[in-house]
Amino acid sequence: MKRFLMAIVGLFGCFFVLLLILVLIGSRPGDAPPFSDKGQASIDISAQVARGEYLAKLANCVGCHTTQGGLPFVGGRILQSEFGEFVTPNITPDEQTGIGNWSVDDFWQALHNGRGREGKLLYPAFPFTNYSLVNRADSDAMFAYFRSLRAIPNENQDHRLSFPANQRWLIGAWRTLFFRPQTFSFDEKKSKEWNRGAYLVEGLGHCSACHSSRNFLGANKGNRDFSGGEMPKIFWYAPAFANSLETNLASASIVEVQTLLSAGLSSTNVVNGPMADVVKNSLQYLLPEDSRAMAVYLKELPQEAAVKPDVLDRALEKQGVSENQMNSLMASGAKLYEKHCAECHGVDGEGVPLVYPKLKGNAAVLMSHQGNALRIVLAGGFAPSTMANPRPYGMPPFAPILSDAEIALVSTYIRNAWGNRALPVLSSDVNPYRTAPQD
């Protein structure tokens, strides 16, 4: 027994030493090329501020650093996560509560190296793993823009995190394991347009922050991991770009992808949920050449192989759904669809281009993660209001008039009519989304 206890103590000691080494390595001062004002007098400050404003929109800074209905960039927005609640800071140039005392180097360190003023380690809820790719000129332009804003005092709140995530010093170990400061590497084998799209998607756009799967420590496989991401605390799912069953990237044209990014809808799809906010706050302001560059990059992502029909058949068999039962579900669902859905989405699920999305072949209703579609059926919703689509058509909420069983039936019908093929929806699948948080 004594030897066993000594072995346990020894293993714990080794683990602690290893953890300490990881923390020390990850806490080392990062690289911060010093800012030189040599030649800066020739820079058109107003042009730099304007460029910084555009870049800040692409990075969707307002989306996180602004509360619902609050003043822009004063912070205080709560970001829900499995580790607790992150509260975003004030990034106006207020000297007491904002970044008024920050230097241009401090700002670069935050973006490139995940460190705040005086080297404070930042939590990766701030997507510095993506922003690390942002080049120095763009970082300086963004800083010039934020310094041009009106200073608004707003005391920053502490994050409300569970143990051990509330131990900031442990970020050093996380950084050692999962983060290396980097700069964007131009791929000579690809076009200039593709490289611009990669820079925007992987860096400023930080798309992998949502559209990637993460391990139990909250780390993904890198800025090109677009394997789909669960958002368990807010009950949304960011679909995988590399899976044709979750997005229509493979079949959509570059123009359709470009339009979806900048307008929030295309001839076949409409964005909803958190992505609607991204389009409203950020992507609608893309220059046409930048939205096209992002579309070119996204279209060239390698796609996973499609699921074979026999795989679905085996899944149905595992669920215990016979052919007769499926026919019965479809017949009941068809009646509900005809009564509540066909007027807008069409008898054959064809929809109305740029008004009501088609349901036939729509990846949003076919993917195995059913939550997004169920949320929209239950709570309704609108496409984002954008310059290209200022008065979007909406989807009414059906939670008040349809039961869980009825929503399961009509969803099952939509997922298996007109050549669609997907697993049926169960009543138990619906209920968790009935009371899902709306923000």
Q: List, for residues 361-389, the tens digit of each pLDDT value.
A: 998 999 889 999 999 999 998 889 999 99
pLDDT by residue (tens digit) across 173-190? 999 999 999 999 999 999
pLDDT of residue 324: 85
pLDDT mean over 414-437: 91
pLDDT of residue 35: 42
pLDDT of residue 25: 45
pLDDT averaged over every residue in the chain: 88
pLDDT of residue 30: 52
pLDDT of residue 315: 64
Is residue 300 within 8 Å of 423, Cβ to Cβ?
A: no
Confidence tier at 232 by pLDDT (50, 70, 90): confident
Q: Is the pLDDT of residue 165 over 60?
A: yes
Q: Is the pLDDT of residue 3 over 70?
A: no
Q: Is the pLDDT of residue 314 over 90?
A: no
Q: What is the dihedral of CA 347, 348, 352, 353, to 10 degrees?
A: 180
Give the Cα separation of 65 and 146 in Å (integer): 12
Instruction: Say whether 8 sits in a helix, a strand or coil.
Output: helix
Residue 239, preceding peptide bond in cis (omega within 30° of 0): no
pLDDT by residue (tens digit) across 78-98? 999 999 999 999 999 999 999
pLDDT by residue (tens digit) across 104-129? 999 999 999 999 998 999 999 999 99
pTM to 2 decimal places: 0.87
Residue 164, preceding peptide bond in cis (omega within 30° of 0): yes
Give the Cα separation of 314 and 382 in Å (integer): 36
pLDDT of residue 7: 40
Q: Is the pLDDT of residue 146 over 50?
A: yes
pLDDT mean over 160-182: 95
pLDDT of residue 245: 81
Residue 209 DSSP label:
G
pLDDT of residue 39: 41
pLDDT mean over 224-244: 89
pLDDT mean over 167-175: 95
Confidence tier at 6 by pLDDT (50, 70, 90): very low
The distance of Cα 30 from the centroid of its chain, to the nearest Å, equals 27
pLDDT of residue 234: 82
Q: Encoding tokens for residue 4? A: 């066993």
pLDDT of residue 78: 96
List CB contacts of 243: < 8 A, sequence separation 6 or more. Answer: 227, 228, 303, 304, 367
Which among 329, 345, 342, 205 is positioned nearest to 275, based on CA atoms? 205
- Tell me phi and psi for residue 150, to 5 degrees: -70, 130
Give the Cα separation of 92 and 202 in Å (integer): 25
Q: How many CA atoms lie within 13 A of 375 on its CB side?
A: 20
Measuring CA to CA, how many Å separate 141 from each of 45, 56, 66, 204, 271?
9, 9, 21, 13, 30
Residue 266 DSSP label:
-
